[in-house]
Amino acid sequence: MKVTKTILLSRHGSTIYNDTDLLQGISDIPLSDRGIKESEQLAERLKDEKIDIIYYTPMMRSKNTAEIANKYHQAPMECIDSFLEMSMGDNEGVVWTEFVKKNPDFYARWATDPDVGMPGGESYTQLFNRVKEGVDYVLSSSYSRVLIVAHAMVNRAILGHLLEMDPMPSRRFRSKNCSLAKLEIFDSPSGPYAVVDSWNNYSHISHFSTGV
């Protein structure tokens, strides 16, 4: 088998919601000063990588991170709508630790059952299913080295699809702000075959990022 595609996968830089432990979901929050710095450090980490295209999501925090990460490449950029982060519904803007403390039974179900979504929001299974469209699009593209800048839950779902996992196991992979993963896609008789080279690498970040 030979490598047909390399996928570099990153999470957006921090926002004020990340910095203050607020549930973010599809709230369109820009990068904080910390997030801008993280994105600049990501750009330095990617300086010597060959990147043919950068994919980002409809959220400004993803697009802004992608733009900064593109500093040394000037690669074409494209938005993939199906990579939108998971909606947290009525609880967006709520302090995460306080929510867990006040709703321990619901949190236990939400954290262990991918079919349970936040009130007014989306379940992980729903997100997992819609992310597949974006994964298939990336795999079918003619670009051999791509960077995807997405979100914590979305990155887990992308990994899950590439490794042919069920939703719940894929949810257990941490993805910190501006961390970097690398996956190699091989051509096999049965179709694309993904191998994880690295995951959640944030050695290029000069401080520990927030978020799960």
Which residues contact residue 172 at a Cβ distance below 8 angstroms, ignoring those fewer than 6 apart? 156
Residue 95 lies in a domain: no
Residue 21 lies in a domain: yes
Residue 54 lies in a domain: yes
The pLDDT-based confidence of 1 (bands split at 50, 70, 90) is: confident
Residue 110 lies in a domain: no
Longest dimension (CA), the chain: 51
Number of domains in the chain: 1
CB 155 within 8 A of CB 145: no
Residue 45 lies in a domain: yes
pLDDT tens across 105-156, in order?
999 999 999 999 999 999 999 999 999 999 999 999 999 999 999 999 999 9
Please report, for the domain that includes residue 166, its CATH number.
3.40.50.1240
Residue 58 lies in a domain: yes
CB 54 within 8 A of CB 81: no
Q: Rounded to two decimals, what is the model's pTM? A: 0.95
